Amino acid sequence: MNQLLLFSLLAWFTGNPLLAILLVVALYWFADRSTFRVFPDPFRWVLRWQRRSRLAALLGVNPHDRRASFELAELWLEAGRPARALEALRPNLEAGDDDVHTAFVWGTALGRTGAAEPAERALAMARAADPRFRAGEIDLELGRQRLARGDLAGAREALERLLAERPGSVEGRYHLARALDGLGAHPEARTRRQEAWTEFRTLPRFQRSRQRRYAWLMRPRRPITLALAVAAALALFAWLASGP
């Protein structure tokens, strides 16, 4: 059932095209929240946008507020804008900030803009300052970046360190399985995927919501089954609504 047919059915049933559009958007957003979480959370997005605006205004008045610069850099990084994060954080580095939080955000932003070597140096500095920072978050970021640029052996090293520190990381096992597949270690990759799914099922609910995307990616038949179930429910709904 494609989007046009779904919209047509809802528009016919509700008699209101605008309401039909809202229902389609709500359906896709709900399905995404229950599976891969690809679409942004609109409420969170608005709050983050408002906070970035306030911080930018604050820095316009006081450009030397390093705490505001750091928070703005984190928000730009979260929004997928690493170049803007670098721009926001640069004054802090020029002022001499070299703590683990600054080095981590700087290295993460550098790596996500494609500057691999300086990113490695910054993240190495962060690891030297605090090897257990956020329960292995530095190694998770190193694993992501190395995997993205094809350094499979380096990704494996970082991700295995992560799992030693944070055994419950479903995302870590997902990325490690990808690296192992690339290195030809397919049996070990399958083991990691099975471990990830087992681990996911034992996580508390609030943690499962954060890790669900990677668990479903390792069991792709699960979201496909959900999609088929939704399509079947909509087809039944349309058939019942059509009447005898």
Q: What's the rounded Cα separation, in Å, for the pair 191 and 170?
A: 13
Question: Three-state secondary structure along 115-182?
Answer: CHHHHHHHHHHHHHHCCCHHHCHHHHHHHHHHHHCCCHHHHHHHHHHHHHHCCCCHHHHHHHHHHHHH
For position 87, what pLDDT does the model report? 97
Q: Where in the chain is the domain with CATH 1.25.40.10?
A: 40-130, 132-244
Nearest to 203 by CA among 193, 215, 217, 219: 215
Chunk the chain into consecutive blocks of 10 residues (it has 244) and report each block's average pLDDT, rounded to whole numbers.
49 53 59 57 77 95 96 96 97 95 98 97 96 95 97 97 93 95 96 89 79 78 51 52 50
SS3 for 88? helix
pLDDT, position 187: 95
Which one is the CATH code of 40-130: 1.25.40.10, 1.10.10.10, 2.40.50.140, 1.10.260.40? Answer: 1.25.40.10
Position 32 scores a pLDDT of: 59
Regarding pTM above 0.85, the answer is no
Sign of CA dihedral 219, 225, 231, 234: negative
Say what the pLDDT of residue 70 is.
98
Structural element, H or E, at residue 27: helix 17-33
Q: What CATH superfamily is the domain 132-244?
A: Tetratricopeptide repeat domain (1.25.40.10)
Cα–Cα distance measured from residue 15 to residue 27, given in angstroms and rounded to the nearest whole number: 18
Supply the DSSP symbol for 4.
Answer: H
Q: What is the pLDDT of residue 2?
A: 47
Residue 78 · residue 48 · CB < 8 Å: yes
